[in-house]
Amino acid sequence: MDDVGVFLSSLLIGLSIAAPVGPIGLLTIQRSLEHGPRAGLATGLGAAAADAVYGAIGAYGVNWLIQALVSVRVPLALFGGAVLLYMAWQLLRAPLADRAASTAPARDGWHYFSGTFMLTLSNPATIFSFIAIFGSMAGRGASASPALMVAGVLFGSALWWLFLSAAVGRLRERFDARWRRRVNLVSAAVLAGFALWQWVSLLAD
């Protein structure tokens, strides 16, 4: 597999990891509706950066770091669940922003970026997906630099978040306060559900 093929394969991996609707997708949609596409994009890019970090660990095969992440899997999962519950609580109590006032994000983009970056890093199970995927690519003769694989994952993930935030941002004017409130409530319920599922799954291990 040549460099272009490896990059495109990694790009598709980034897209496939980002596209399924989960906590980050819901937050991106909610923030794009409430505060505009820039807030949604910053939210998604935080997850893309975390995917790139775990992708780099998997691509370069940093064994000691992989073992360290495995050893702290439980506290990371507890932390991630707590963050999800906190975000759900914030959505429940937050007043809806006036449309005219919400053309700019309520908080700076760094706040949204760093929040989802840390939230995504709190799920170290992601790294095992990258190890399996990149191992499979190596088995098919992918001799490209690991940096090219990581760049493909980052670009593919970022491309999805750009598309999602832009698409939702274009529709936000069609959502009145009642509908945006419903989105907030549904998002809060789903985030809380993910948090509880993350904690319960620890008991099953």
Q: With 70 as the cut, is the pLDDT of residue 102 above it?
A: no
Q: Give residue 167's pLDDT.
A: 93
Where in the sequence is the domain holding 8, given as residue range(s)?
A: 3-80+95-176
- Measure the CA–CA gap between 88 and 185, rounded to whole angstroms: 9
Q: Give residue 5's pLDDT.
A: 81
Tell me the angle at which helices 177-204 and 73-93 cross, rounded to the nearest 10 degrees. Answer: 160
Q: What are phi and psi of 36, to 5 degrees?
A: 105, 165
Q: Which two tokens stand for residue 205?
A: 């291990």
Q: Number of structural domains, the chain?
A: 1
Q: Give residue 166's pLDDT.
A: 94
Q: Is residue 160 part of a domain?
A: yes
Q: Is residue 30 part of a domain?
A: yes
pLDDT tens, position by position, 142-177: 555 778 888 888 999 999 999 999 999 888 878 777
Q: Is residue 190 part of a domain?
A: no
Q: Is residue 129 part of a domain?
A: yes
Q: Is residue 182 part of a domain?
A: no
pLDDT band at residue 3 using 50, 70 and 90 as cut-offs? confident
Q: With 70 as the cut, is the pLDDT of residue 106 above it?
A: no
Q: Is residue 196 part of a domain?
A: no
Residue 118 is given by DSSP the state H
Q: Give residue 162's pLDDT.
A: 95
